[in-house]
Structure 1
Amino acid sequence: MTEEPKKHRFLTIEQAAEELNVSHSQIRALLKTGELRAIQVGGRGMWRIGVKDLEDYIAEAYRRTAERIDAGEIVDDGEPDA
């Protein structure tokens, strides 16, 4: 019987940035605006982002994007088609 790797409940800013493939500063901006929920822990106030909070943020981003597509608001950002 193989053991599954332990899944963490919280992510660091760096881990969340890697998950979304964005910069650390972009994650900090999302935290500052409240778009992405997080908590501060410890004496130095290190940020921790709940895995579920990140998943909720992603789901909401998909929903907003779908609304913008439906409204004809999406503008090509120059990225190549997949």
Structure 2
Amino acid sequence: MPRFLTLADVSEQLNLTPAATRALITSGDLPAIQVGPRKLWRIEESELEAYIQRLYQENEQRISALNSSHQ
């Protein structure tokens, strides 16, 4: 498996449009680099996994806070 993923690869894995994936990158939510003369976006596989894990943690915290406010 390659170390870096393309914007299209990440879009497919997250089931997002390329524009939505680019927005995650430019907002700083998903770390990425631009490489080559055409400045193509590349996302390190470990950064994508860390991003996904952060989303899981945020969701768990939201659910926990929601459940504790309903008790």
Provide the TM-score with structure 2 as the length reference.
0.89
Gapped runs of 5+ residues in structure 1? 1-6, 74-82
Q: Which has the higher contact order (CA 8 A, sep 6+)?
A: 2
Q: Is 1:32 paired with 2:26?
A: yes
Of 10, 34, 45 in structure 1, the residue corresponding to residue 39 of structure 2 is 45
1:1-20 → structure 2 map (5 Å cutoff): 7-20=1-14
**Which amino acid in the other structure matches residue 56 of structure 2?**
Y
- Percent sequence identity over aligned pairs: 43
Structure with greater helix share of residues? 2
Moved over 6 A (4+): none
Gaps of 5+ in 2: none
**How far apart are 1:16 and its partner, in Å?**
0.2
**CA separation in 2, counterparts of 1:55 and 1:27?**
14
Q: In structure 1, how many angstroms separate the alpha carbons of the residues matched to 2:20 and 2:9?
A: 13
What is the RMSD of the two structures over their aligned residues, measured on CA atoms? 1.2
TM-score normalised over the length of structure 1: 0.78
Task: Name which one, 1 or 2, has greater alpha-carbon Rg.
Answer: 1
Q: Distance in 2 between matches of 1:32 and 1:57?
A: 14
Q: Give the number of equivalent residue pairs.
A: 67
